[in-house]
Amino acid sequence: MDAFSHLPTEVDPNFVTAFQLAVEASRQLLGAQFAGVALPAENGCLRYVILSGFPDDADASTWRQPFAPNESVTGQAFTTGKTYFYRPDDAMPTLPWFTAAGGQSILAMPIHAEDRVVGALTIGWRAAVRRPSPAKMRLLRLITSQMGLSVETQMLLLRLADSERKALRLSRLNAILSRINLSIVGARSRQSLLTRMCETITADGQFVLAWIGFADPASGDVDITASSGEATAYLTTLKVSVDPASPYGQGPAGRALRGEGTQIISDILTDPSFAMWRQYAEPLGLRSCISSRFQDASGVAGALSVYSKEPNAFGQVEIQELMAELVSSISFALAHLALIDQEATAEQQVRHMAYHDPLTGLPNRLLLEDRLGQMLEAGRRYRRSFAVCVLDLDDFKSVNDSYGHHFGDRILRQLTQRLTGSLRAVDTMARFGGDEFVLLVDAVHDQEHLTQLLNRLIEMAKEPVKVDDVVFQLGVSIGAALFPEDGEEQERLVSRADQAMYLAKSSGGNCYRLAAKL
């Protein structure tokens, strides 16, 4: 079953949300007017399933129409797996809606999933623009990578649903299999999945012990990760190894972990391979067991072992099929959970790169504007004062000119770490560009409170900075504007603080000036 032939009606809402976030982030970060994702449709065509920036008064069915791959730049990226960028003077195949909407420049990047191209991300401008910088292209590739992970997750969800349907058919013959698959569906973490698996197997008392273990790569010993059942006391003395030379490696779990197939002990009391553990199993009434191997998403082998008080409890074909289906489901569910974690990590990376300065890790202009907007809203609602401060390092240009930007970058990183370390969690320092920074100081009680902070920052900036064997001593000029006294809008506050900073710099630097005294 192809995950893409069902878009957008049958797709998981989380999948659509992930794409919408990625598309909107792509459009805003590149200053584009359009951004969309096209995925395979019927008859070898493509179709846009998400488009951001399309005119509100336009019919969405216009851009949702299927189109042949050779009709557009998007189709070229999908067909060849390469990135394309066109300006108005290039021979650019475009779709009618793009031309009608005033599109001039367009970039298309393929989306990869499971070693194949599964769609294309398209960015469009209503003007002739330059090709995005290498840094922005890397960010776009990270965004399409996150989209690919979303697609892989959706495909796994569809396959999991298909596996669940098969399990429900088998559950008519075996009620345990049904309960196991339900526990897989409800799992939200690796540990909860494995624990619930064991609990489901032993829930009705037919099986008195179930445990799952993984081999330690260093020692070869098997560590028990999850277990359940009335006979869990057996595990307090259990020792299992994957080492074929060890006496503890001759049992069913050790052999299964070495890849020798599913292992069945029909009678624990008589089977010689179980001799090492018989004295612990017999008092608990354990008479038969089965062990099967599976792999997690990283390829690490694990084993599921199930025990019964009845001899030959696992001789029936249905029970063996249950174990085969069960360990396959464990591998599949672990892979699915790992992909969810990867997708979440990739999305966090995209968000961080979109809103933070790559050199210092500080918030960038986008995040600064957002936080300043929040502070303005809170200030108006609760009549709370705050300060906007503009900081500029004194004579920093001479450092770059004399020692190079590499030294300058290292100085900036050290200084920002030093200055931000003295701030409260509610305050925000952002890099505005070059050696200029903006500091938002929340909940300023009075002017004395602010001046104490500014003096502390000036003193900290004067402390020497050492790069390799070179010691630098810099200063900082600061201008500060207070809300609401010096302004009640973002632009006004930043402008007033900037004017005050230039006054501090013209006064010799290494000092601060307040906008109220301009």
Of 121, 113, 105, 129, residue with least CA distance to 22 = 121
The identity of residue 255, as a single letter, is R
- The segment(s) of the chain belonging to CATH 3.30.450.40 are 3-155, 173-338
Give the SS3 label for residue 464.
coil
Task: Look at residue 6 in the predicted model and tell me its pLDDT.
Answer: 38
How close are the terminal C-alpha atoms of the chain, in Å? 70
Task: Look at residue 505 in the predicted model and tell me its pLDDT.
Answer: 93
Residue recorded with tokens 């064997």: 469
**φ, ψ for residue 474 (rounded to 5)?**
-115, 175
From start to end of 259-343, where are the E strands?
263-265, 288-295, 301-308
Annotated active-site residue 435? The verdict is yes
Which pair of structure tokens corresponds to residue 7? Answer: 């878009």
Distance CA 33, CA 2 (A): 31
Distance CA 445, CA 113 (A): 54
Give the SS3 label for residue 475.
strand
Distance CA 66, CA 145 (A): 24
Containing 438, the helix (H) or strand (E) segment is strand 436-441
Alpha helices, DSSP H only, in 37-133?
A: 60-64, 73-80, 96-100
Residue recorded with tokens 């982030």: 25
pLDDT in tens, 63-87: 888 899 888 899 999 999 999 999 8
Which pair of structure tokens corresponds to residue 41? Answer: 């449709």
Q: What is the pTM of this model?
A: 0.40
Task: Name beta bridge partners: 465.
Answer: 472
Task: Name beta bridge partners: 437.
Answer: 391, 431
Cα dihedral 97, 103, 107, 108, rounded to 10, equals 0
Distance CA 119, CA 23 (A): 13
Task: Look at residue 87 in the predicted model and tell me its pLDDT.
Answer: 87
Classify 365-517 by CATH class: alpha beta
As a residue count, the chain comes to 518
Task: Look at residue 184 in the predicted model and tell me its pLDDT.
Answer: 62
The DSSP annotation for 352-389 comes to HHHHB-TTT--B-HHHHHHHHHHHHHHHHHHT--EEEE
Residue recorded with tokens 């994702």: 37
Of 108, 109, 119, 107, residue with least CA distance to 142 = 109
- The segment(s) of the chain belonging to CATH 3.30.70.270 are 365-517
| Cβ neighbours around 119 below 10 Å, total | 28
Residue 408 burial class via C-beta count within 10 angstroms: exposed 0-12, middle 13-18, buried 19 and up: buried
**φ, ψ for residue 13 (rounded to 5)?**
-55, -35
Measured CA distances, 46 to 107, 119, 120, 359, 491 (Å): 17, 8, 9, 39, 44
Of 37, 49, 35, residue with least CA distance to 5 = 49
Q: For domain 173-338, which CATH number applies: 3.30.530.20, 3.30.565.10, 3.40.50.1000, 3.30.450.40?
A: 3.30.450.40
Task: Look at residue 172 in the predicted model and tell me its pLDDT.
Answer: 38
Which residue positions in the chain have pLDDT lower than 50?
A: 1-10, 165-170, 172-173
Residues 6+ apart with CB under 8 A from 494: 372, 388, 390, 438, 481
Which one from 435, 442, 486, 498 is the annotated catalytic residue? 435
Measured CA distances, 87 to 107, 133, 326, 470 (Å): 9, 15, 55, 47
Which pair of structure tokens corresponds to residue 101? Answer: 């909407």
Classify 3-155 by CATH class: alpha beta
Task: Look at residue 103 in the predicted model and tell me its pLDDT.
Answer: 87
Task: Look at residue 177 in the predicted model and tell me its pLDDT.
Answer: 61
